Amino acid sequence: MKLTTPIKLAKQNPPINYSSKVLLLGSCFAQNIGAKLEYYKFQQCTNPFGILFHPVAIEKLVTRAIDQKWFSTSDVFFKNEQWHCFLAHSKLSNTSQEELIAALNLALEKLRTSLIEASHVVFTFGTAWVYRHLQRDTVVANCHKVPQKEFVKQLLSPDDVSDVSLGIETKLRTINPTCSIINTVSPVRHIKDGLLANSRSKAHLIAGVQEIVAPEKLNYYFPSYEIMMDELRDYRYYKEDLIHPNQTAIAIIWNAFKTSWVCPETTAMQNKIAAIQSGKLHKPFNEHSKAHMLFKKDLEIQILQVQEQLPWARFL
């Protein structure tokens, strides 16, 4: 008896290995996959500006990084006792204007370097709904709890999504013509817009992105949304909020991503690293016992062996 409708996945080339450098930008899926890549010590950079929910936000930051348009006082504003930037997540907000601008420019430089060096760039679009700030006449990445009356809410059409996605690709190719672009739609539903509006939004994203996918041009689509909606069509795969995928769902989607995009030859190293990560979580009954001292020494040896092959790997 079949209890799911599995998504067929093809092996993609060039695959991600330990020489690859992966940049992930976008919604929660980018964070989840970035965390998995970090856990297994692949070279990755995830959302220097924090979570980005829609394609326009990603386009603005990619363009700004490539053009080296640095942030200044005109790009920040003061609200609720903090300085904010409409192009960045609130995690960068700061009580100091100078420190915020410095952090924004540091993130911009990190993004630019990653765009140049990336072998693979993953774009995850969460919603086609955007908010345009009326006074500045610009689409924002984050509203920072500014009153809603200061914005107008707009829905990107499929053509808008295609145009923005193509603009991102065209700009990226000016500094990195050989990277693989992996587009995906976040499986997280934005139900604050309502379920019908969320479905419409996801449909616009999927339709728009599919117009620019062209594997012969190193532009691909990974079906994270479809896996969640079809293979994992059950609330047991969600957190208690019934919106976000739980750890089981994330693991299943990660395994699907590995099947499609991660080089099988990295499996042995992933297993070594997983053993180290598990060992670091070990809680001894007696920290000063001889057995625990030997365990710690063996773990240190394993870490050094991994670092000989992966010098960038750090185990905190």
Helices (H), 10-67: 28-39, 55-67
Output the pLDDT for position 180. 98
pLDDT at res. 136:
94
Question: Nearest 5 degrees, angle CA 51-CA 76-CA 46?
Answer: 20
So what's the pLDDT on residue 293?
Answer: 84
pLDDT at 269: 97
pLDDT of res. 71: 98
Pair 55, 125: CB distance under 8 Å: yes
Instruction: State the Cα–Cα distance between residues 41 and 132, nearest whole angstrom.
Output: 38
pLDDT tens digits along 151-208: 999 999 999 999 999 999 999 999 999 999 999 999 998 888 788 999 999 999 999 9
Q: What pLDDT score does 92 carry?
A: 97
According to the model, what pLDDT value does residue 147 have? 94
Q: Each residue of 143-161: b (16+ CB within 10 Å) or e?
A: ebebeeeebeeeebebebb
- Below-70 pLDDT ranges, the chain: none
Note the pLDDT of residue 2. Answer: 73
Say what the pLDDT of residue 268 is.
96
Domain ranges within the chain, ordered by starting residue: 21-223, 263-316
Omega before 147 within 30 of 0, i.e. cis:
no
- CA distance readout (Å), 124 to 45, 202, 205, 221, 259: 14, 12, 10, 10, 18
